[in-house]
Amino acid sequence: MKYTIDKQEKYSLLKLHEEKLDSTVAPGLKSELITFHAEGVKNIILDLSDVKYTDSSGLSALLVGNRIVQEEGGIFVLARLSEHTMKLIKISQLDSVLNILPTVEEAIDAVYMHEIEKDLKGDGAN
């Protein structure tokens, strides 16, 4: 699996350099997301701009990422999805479950808004 990671103070940005998010790539993505979580990364942005095709195992990896990040009170944001991936997510009715934004910049803003909201609610001490 080819990817780059940009670790910031409030989030990690993972950019997948694969055309397909399928059964050959999804297990690697799952394990990377679990590793980030184990390293204490609370907020993850996944840039899928290079991904043209996604299948059910790819969706499963995205859902694993979403679940483990939310369990820790973080936010998992998908950015720059292809038309095909977006259609699959909508058909699967996961567009109401996953945080999806058109650009990485908007995803970064969403992370900061999430952090501010957590701080305002008093959850920031975690």
pLDDT digits (tens, 9 = 90+) for 43-86: 999 999 999 999 999 999 999 999 999 998 999 999 999 999 99
- Domains along the chain? 3-121 (3.30.750.24)
Alpha-carbon distances, residue 121 vs 44, 99, 107 (angstroms): 21, 20, 21
Mean pLDDT, rounded, for 87-100:
95
pLDDT for residue 121: 87
Report the C-alpha gap between 21 and 37 in whole angstroms. 20
Report the C-alpha gap between 15 and 2 in whole angstroms. 9
pLDDT band at 29 (very low <50, low <70, confident <90, very high): very high
